[in-house]
Amino acid sequence: MLLSHPSCALHNPGPGHPESPMRLAAVLSAFDTAPLAGIARVEAPPASIEQLRRVHDDALIDRVFAAAPRDGIARLDADTAMCPQSLDAALHAAGAVIAAVDAVLQERTDRAFCAVRPPGHHATRIDAMGFCLFNSIAVGAAHALAQGLDRVAIIDFDVHHGNGTQDIFSRDARVLYASSHQWPLYPNTGAEAEVGLGNIHNATLLPGARSLEFREAWAQRLLPAIEAFKPQLILISAGFDAHRLDPLAQLNLGPEDFAWLTHALVLIAERHGGGRVVSALEGGYSLTALHECTTAHCQALFGMR
């Protein structure tokens, strides 16, 4: 199942901003040809205020709503900006993950990909930052917990650490957060000593790291931790900016690396969670890499390898 919404293509942080509407076009183009062209498409609903409140303070929600401009661009910080359509896009991005979680829990599908923007994993409980307004993957995880799940794993292979997701769940043992990311790099969080209640697992990669280092970090450290957690649901923050072509970072991965990890996660989900996996787009700022990596990731996600 593919979930998206037209508003996500209208979010525009301004000329020259790397988080451009063209990113979504590159992602969706992966679904224009076989075999992904056969994936069912669903228009995402918006998240409600009550659903956002599960992970965000009222002050953040109120700030984002109040900042939405009637025209032009409004800046929340140096990197994070809104146009008139941005609020609607952020609500539908979070709503897509919620709808995808409902779909897998209700057994209408095993796996889903949310082609949405703006990204979300830098949004903390109290701050919108790093191109992110609301933390869509965290909203989806909280929704799954509200439906009665006890063990939800969030997997983040974006090149930037998901500081917001870690902030929201670092004291909630029902959620495991596992991340590989370049170090040092924005937002300068995600040290391996940051472990929360034992539910936080960070693997840092030095600039220039390639497939070998990436796969070793997951195979030797992160995947065993996820396996031991026995997640009832796996959520993926699917950022593709660790690709060698990405202009905002210095890792050297290829589409085959994301496919390898995705396949491993699907196998864990099949062993412990009925095969339930929901993935949502985060970063990735090379249009070529976005298309190639979305194709590889989603073919592995939907069992088309």
Q: Is the dihedral of CA 49, 50, 56, 59 positive or negative?
A: positive
Q: In sequence order, which residues have a C-beta less than 8 Å from that of residue 68 and are 6 or more positions away? A: 74, 82, 84, 86, 87
| Six token digits for residue 204 | 């840092």
CA 78 to chain centre: 22
Number of separate domains in the chain: 1
Instruction: Give per-residue pLDDT as tens, 204-217.
Output: 999 999 999 999 99
pLDDT digits (tens, 9 = 90+) for 17-73: 999 999 999 999 999 999 999 999 999 999 999 999 999 999 999 999 999 999 999
Collapse the DSSP code of 165 into the 3-class scheme (helix H, G, I; strand E, B; otherwise coil) and give the result.
helix
161 is a catalytic site residue: no
C-alpha span between 98 and 284 (Å, rounded): 22
What do you get for the CA distance between the two ends of the chain, in Å?
Answer: 17
What is the C-alpha separation between 209 and 261, in angstroms, rounded?
A: 16
CATH number of the domain bearing residue 273: 3.40.800.20
d(CA 82, CA 45): 20
Give pLDDT, residue 261: 99
Please give the residue range of the domain that contains residue 149. 2-301
Q: What is the pLDDT of residue 126?
A: 98
Query: Identity (one letter) of the amino acid at 42?
Result: V
DSSP 268: H
Nearest to 142 by CA among 107, 172, 179, 121: 172
Cβ–Cβ under 8 Å, residues 294 and 30: yes
Q: What is the pLDDT of residues 80-110, one digit of tens each?
A: 999 999 999 999 999 999 999 999 999 999 9
Tokens read off for 155: 């997997």
Of residues 5, 92, 121, 122, which has the active-site annotation?
122
In terms of phi and psi (left: phi > 0; alpha: psi -120 to 50; beta: otherwise), the region of 188 is left
Does the pLDDT value for residue 252 go beyond 80? Answer: yes
